[in-house]
């Protein structure tokens, strides 16, 4: 679809559902599409994540840490393009919930990134689907990477949703979200066989 036509259509729909002042604000915000990650920035973020993964445990394989870091950073950016993500992330949620975007809620980012990282066949690192504040209006989903056999809250959070495709990562124990392992019954059907793989078994904190 032509981008200019799509924006005009979006403006008409917005004007029909919210007040004029709110519509102006929403339209201005929606123009803030996630900018492509520069090569230098991608490399910098990849190196930073690699070092944090190596710090998890002396048993982490350096090659696995490097492959996971690069894939996570670059695939998060690719998902932003696929979702046509806008900033801030809550605005994109609004667009999805109103039917103006197909995907891009926090669990979409987590699930799609999980599938890609699972393909790496890691042994010294485990990837966990995690949830915070489950069954509330503030529920949030992300991934947590741990060294093999390490407790969940000693791991590193990978949150592609938080900055609309610019991968956020940080310690699970100090993050603002109270993370826990996503219960098996809440897994998307297409992910259940992947989560049951031995190197990705979920462990409680």
Position 20 scores a pLDDT of 53
pLDDT digits (tens, 9 = 90+) for 161-181: 999 999 999 999 999 999 999
- Whether the per-residue pLDDT at 64 is higher than 90: the answer is yes
CA distance 192 to 99: 27
Overall pTM surpassing 0.75 (yes/no): yes
- Whether the per-residue pLDDT at 89 is higher than 90: the answer is yes
Q: What percent of the chain has pLDDT over 90?
A: 70
- Whether the per-residue pLDDT at 7 is higher than 60: the answer is no
Residue identified by tokens 């504040």 is 133
Residue 86's beta-bridge partner residues? Answer: 33
Q: Strand 179-181's sheet: what is its strand order?
A: 168-171, 156-159, 140-147, 125-132, 179-181
Q: Which residues contact 60 (CB under 8 A, 6 or more apart)?
A: 53, 54, 124, 125, 147
The stretch 27-46 carries a mean pLDDT of: 76
CA distance 188 to 95: 22
Q: Give the DSSP letter of residue 51.
A: H
């Amino acid at each position: 679809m032509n981008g200019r036509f799509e924006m005009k259509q979006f403006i008409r729909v917005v004007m029909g559902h919210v007040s004029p002042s709110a519509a102006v604000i929403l339209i201005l915000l929606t123009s803030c599409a996630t900018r492509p990650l520069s090569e230098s920035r991608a490399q910098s973020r990849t190196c930073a994540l690699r070092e944090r993964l190596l710090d998890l445990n002396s048993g982490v394989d350096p090659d696995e840490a490097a492959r996971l870091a690069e894939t996570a950073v670059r695939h998060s950016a690719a998902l932003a393009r696929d979702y046509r993500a806008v900033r801030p992330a809550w605005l994109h949620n609004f667009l999805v919930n109103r039917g103006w975007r197909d995907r891009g809620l926090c669990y979409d980012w987590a699930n799609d990134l999980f599938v890609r990282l699972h393909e790496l066949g890691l042994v010294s690192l485990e990837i966990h689907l995690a949830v915070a504040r489950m069954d509330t209006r503030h529920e949030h989903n992300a991934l947590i990477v741990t060294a093999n056999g390490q407790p969940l809250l000693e791991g590193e959070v990978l949150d592609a949703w938080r900055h609309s495709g610019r991968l956020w990562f940080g310690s699970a124990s100090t993050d603002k979200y109270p993370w826990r392992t996503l219960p098996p019954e809440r897994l998307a059907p297409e992910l259940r066989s992947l989560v049951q793989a031995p190197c990705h078994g979920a462990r409680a904190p």
